[in-house]
Chain A
Amino acid sequence: MNEAERADLLLQIYYYMRLTRAMEDRTRTLFLQGRIVGGVYTAQGHEATTVGAAMTLRDGDCIVPQHRDLGMHLVRGVSPRAVMCQWLARGNAPTLGRDGQLHIGDMHHGVVPMISMLGESLPVACGVALVMKMRRRSTVVLASCGDGATSTGAFHEALNFAAVQRLPVVFLIENNGYAYSTPNAKQFAIEQLAQRAGAYGMPGESVDGNDVLAVMEAVGRAVAHARGGRGPTLVECRTFRVRGHSEADKADYVPPALREEWLARDPIKRFEDYLTAQGLLSAERRREIEARVRAVVDDAVAFAEASPPPDPATVADYVFAPDGPIAIVGEPGAADPRYVNALDTRTGRPFCTMSQVEEAVTQL
């Protein structure tokens, strides 16, 4: 990578961090205005972790994100319009209004839909990685969870199975200090969650999750390890949830001084300072990026607001998938519409999770 390419890359990272923050700020506003009916979970302070980790991936790789991983989604090409349609429960959202939040996915673009039972996505990540291994691919799976989910049985079963099978998975723990109101000290009795890696026979690393370049380096090492067929790695990113569990949670159980301490380490501010010091982010450049971010968010909100609600008559539809051939995702020709998993057979149109197929969203 030459210097100009590196500068572009760093600014791209900055853009995604800003876009993630701006999307969530707007989501919060919509919630406070009563325009989002359900729970809203945001991740201020996680941007270095989610964006940095996802920046290490390539085409064909897969993310298995959780509820605070908007940054990961956006880097991998998930459409901001689709995200806003999810929040606003629109009929053309990726889940057709059947589910909310970031519970979205598109296997052809390597995004596995999550469920609210945190930790349960990790065994699913193993299955995706198992297929990559069977098909002799050099692709990898990036699967995340929070500190809370490390206490689940699913976490243990997944890490153990991945290690035994030497699966190409990077397990990313976003340790943000609290599982809802429960602090780390009541969640586990070890110093760093990365220590758990040793128990599974895989490498483990704990990294400053508010330093985007440090995250990219650590996750990048783990990705290279997995790509090389050497199996899984556990990477703990130490960050902090500076807001509540959900936007309905004031989080008054968090000592104010602790929150202040982490707010001072804001990952976006830190990266901005770095870019400025490197001479890569002029005031003008910054204004450009801010304008671009604002335009994307405005467009996403406007699109979602103009989108229709789901048709109540469809309430009992789509419980079962239709018959027909199914393609193995990632194989040549897998997008051929004769395959039941090539299109969204509920609508007969392309899946509308990714930006590339936004026109599909518009048409509905």
Chain B
Amino acid sequence: MTAVTYLEAISQAIREEMRRDESVFLLGEDVATYGGAFKVSAGFLEEFGPERVIDTPMSETAIIGSAVGAALMGMRPIAEMQYIDFITCGFDQIVNMACKMYWRSGIPLPLVIRGPAGGGTHGGPFHSASPEAWFFHTPGIKVVMPATTYDAKGLLKAAIRDNNPVLYLEHKLLYRLPELREELPSEDYIVPLGKAIIRRHGRHMTMLTYGAMVHQCLKAAEQLASEDGLAVEVVDLRSLTPLDRQTIKESVMRTNKVLIVHEDTLTGGVGAELAALLAEELFDYLDGPIMRVAAPDAPYPYAPPLEMAYLPGVERIVAVARQLAAY
């Protein structure tokens, strides 16, 4: 058995689900002949043929709309956004067509929309998006963001088998990261949607995070342990919708302090909702303010010094964690 990358795990998940279930198919820009802009679907065309791996015109509304139509027919389409930034071109199909379908009509819509999200790759303002908050806010769609190779595969399989629209946000910085290479189980497995995981146990504070920021938080936690003697608990949410409120609350009830970290911008971000939830439900347990580390309220920049200043990193996380610990 060989260790695979986060990207290979995604590829394996789609390939295995397409082998297992003939209703699963993939459509998007450059996904067939070219194998996808990041080569997630390399070799798929040869194995599954052009009817199950469909190169589409440059038309996100047609891609997502067709996926909706196929899902209405009981298929399980996977619609790829070449970069998740382009999801805005198909926004109406998601928030008005897909998200309200079961609620209005009783017709389930088993549909996955996936694509590379996140920054750190010098992609600039149109190839670095973290769009989760828009969809986190919208009833009727599940939102998942895997941080590890194991989860990348297991969450995607669970998303494909789910009977609802699922937005699966893969972080492109993690695609080929050597330290994320992992040997995966040879047997079929899923990671259920709506279950967070504690990546590191600790009693002094909880870091709530997801996606690529999980790794930044783990590095920060390590530094805080060795330099400050702080035991930081790192909770990887994995799914934003459904949100694992129980794991979040149990952790904060143990540590009494919480730092929320996400790559998306601060205002109205997922962290704002987490903070509100904790303030409402765990007020008596909190021994300090609920604090957040996020990107500034500005569009994503291109030049490396700007990008470095924009992205939350270990240094900022450590600095804010120390403020919180001093309370």
Residues of A within 8 A of B (CB): 94-96, 98-99, 103-107, 112-113, 115-117, 120, 122-131, 133-134, 153-154, 157-158, 160-161, 164-165, 318-324, 326-331, 334, 339-341, 344-347, 351
Whether the Cβ atoms of B68 and A124 lie closer than 8 Å is yes
B102-113 CB contact bits vs A (8 Å, 1 = yes)? 111111111000
Is B70 interfacial (CB-CB < 8 Å)?
yes
Q: Which residue of B lies closest to A114 (CB)?
A: B97
- Distance in angstroms from A110 CB to nearest chain B CB is 10
Contacts A161-B59, A161-B62 given; does A128 touch B93 at CB 8 Å: no
How far is A347 from B106 in the complex, measured between Cα atoms in Å? 9
Whether the Cβ atoms of B65 and A154 lie closer than 8 Å is yes
How far is A230 from B278 in the complex, measured between Cα atoms in Å? 59
Can you list 28 pairs linking A and B with CB atoms under 8 Å apart?
Answer: A94-B106, A98-B104, A103-B104, A104-B105, A106-B105, A113-B105, A123-B68, A124-B69, A125-B69, A126-B62, A128-B72, A130-B54, A131-B75, A154-B65, A157-B61, A157-B65, A319-B102, A319-B103, A320-B140, A320-B142, A321-B109, A323-B162, A326-B76, A327-B74, A328-B73, A330-B73, A334-B74, A346-B106
Contacts A127-B68, A130-B69 given; does A326 touch B62 at CB 8 Å: no
Whether the Cβ atoms of A95 and B57 lie closer than 8 Å is no
Query: Among residues 18 to 63 in chain B, which have CB atoms less than 8 Å away from a CB atom of chain A?
Result: 23, 25, 51-52, 54, 56-57, 59, 61-62
Residues of B within 8 A of A131 (CB): 69-70, 73, 75
Q: Which residue of A lies closest to B96 (CB)?
A: A115
Is B13 interfacial (CB-CB < 8 Å)?
no
Contacts A130-B69, A131-B75 given; does A123 touch B62 at CB 8 Å: yes
Contacts A107-B73, A326-B74, A341-B74 given; does A126 touch B66 at CB 8 Å: yes
The interface size of chain B toward A, counting residues with CB under 8 Å, comes to 45
B73-93 CB contact bits vs A (8 Å, 1 = yes)? 111110000000000000011
Q: Which residue of A lies closest to B75 (CB)?
A: A131
Most buried by A among B70, B92, B106: B106
Whether the Cβ atoms of A328 and B75 lie closer than 8 Å is yes
Residues of B within 8 A of A115 (CB): 96-97, 100
How far is A322 from B108 in the complex, measured between Cα atoms in Å? 8
Whether the Cβ atoms of B107 and A113 lie closer than 8 Å is yes
How far is A116 from B97 in the complex, measured between Cα atoms in Å? 9
Whether the Cβ atoms of B163 and A123 lie closer than 8 Å is no
Whether the Cβ atoms of A122 and B106 lie closer than 8 Å is no
Whether the Cβ atoms of A127 and B74 lie closer than 8 Å is no
How far is A329 from B103 in the complex, measured between Cα atoms in Å? 19
Whether the Cβ atoms of A105 and B105 lie closer than 8 Å is yes
Is B289 interfacial (CB-CB < 8 Å)?
no
Q: Which residue of B lies closest to A342 (CB)?
A: B74
How far is A123 from B62 in the complex, measured between Cα atoms in Å? 5
How far is A175 from B65 in the complex, measured between Cα atoms in Å? 23
Whether the Cβ atoms of B57 and A124 lie closer than 8 Å is no
Whether the Cβ atoms of A98 and B61 lie closer than 8 Å is no
Contacts A321-B164, A328-B74 given; does A160 touch B62 at CB 8 Å: yes
CB within 8 Å: A-B pair count:
162
Whether the Cβ atoms of A124 and B102 lie closer than 8 Å is no
Contact of A128 among B23, B69, B109, B142 (CB under 8 A): B69
Query: Among residues 133 to 178 in chain B, which have CB atoms less than 8 Å away from a CB atom of chain A?
Result: 139-140, 142, 162-164
Residues of B within 8 A of A (CB): 23, 25, 51-52, 54, 56-57, 59, 61-62, 64-77, 92-93, 96-97, 100-110, 139-140, 142, 162-164
Contact of A98 among B74, B76, B103 (CB under 8 A): B103
Residues of A within 8 A of B109 (CB): 321
Q: Which residue of A lies closest to B105 (CB)?
A: A113
How far is A123 from B77 in the complex, measured between Cα atoms in Å? 14
**Which 4 residue pairs across A and B have the least CB separation, nearest first?**
A127-B69, A123-B65, A321-B108, A127-B66
7 additional A-B pairs beyond A99-B104, A320-B102, A321-B163, beta carbons within 8 Å, are: A113-B104, A123-B68, A123-B69, A127-B68, A130-B69, A318-B102, A324-B163
Most buried by B among A105, A161, A318: A161
Residues of A within 8 A of B96 (CB): 115-117, 120
Q: Which residue of B lies closest to A317 (CB)?
A: B103
How far is A364 from B41 in the complex, measured between Cα atoms in Å? 47
Residues of B within 8 A of A103 (CB): 104
Residues of B within 8 A of A113 (CB): 101, 104-105, 107
Residues of B within 8 A of A107 (CB): 72-74, 107
- Distance in angstroms from B99 CB to nearest chain A CB is 9
Residues of A within 8 A of B52 (CB): 134
How far is A207 from B70 in the complex, measured between Cα atoms in Å? 31
Whether the Cβ atoms of B107 and A105 lie closer than 8 Å is yes
Whether the Cβ atoms of A164 and B57 lie closer than 8 Å is yes
How far is A70 from B60 in the complex, measured between Cα atoms in Å? 30
How far is A134 from B76 in the complex, measured between Cα atoms in Å? 13
Whether the Cβ atoms of B93 and A123 lie closer than 8 Å is yes
- Distance in angstroms from B88 CB to nearest chain A CB is 12
Residues of A within 8 A of B74 (CB): 107, 326-329, 331, 334, 339, 341
Contacts A105-B107, A320-B164, A340-B163 given; does A160 touch B70 at CB 8 Å: no
Contact of A130 among B66, B103, B142 (CB under 8 A): B66
Whether the Cβ atoms of A120 and B97 lie closer than 8 Å is yes
Residues of B within 8 A of A95 (CB): 104-105
How far is A99 from B97 in the complex, measured between Cα atoms in Å? 13
Whether the Cβ atoms of A345 and B57 lie closer than 8 Å is no
How far is A134 from B53 in the complex, measured between Cα atoms in Å? 12
Q: Which residue of A lies closest to B22 (CB)?
A: A328
Residues of A within 8 A of B93 (CB): 120, 123-124
How far is A269 from B185 in the complex, measured between Cα atoms in Å? 71
Whether the Cβ atoms of B92 and A117 lie closer than 8 Å is yes
How far is A122 from B61 in the complex, measured between Cα atoms in Å? 10
Q: Which residue of B lies closest to A326 (CB)?
A: B74
Contact of B59 among A104, A124, A133, A160 (CB under 8 A): A160
Contact of A123 among B64, B105, B142, B162 (CB under 8 A): B64
How far is A65 from B110 in the complex, measured between Cα atoms in Å? 22
Whether the Cβ atoms of A128 and B73 lie closer than 8 Å is yes
Contact of A127 among B23, B71, B107, B140 (CB under 8 A): B71
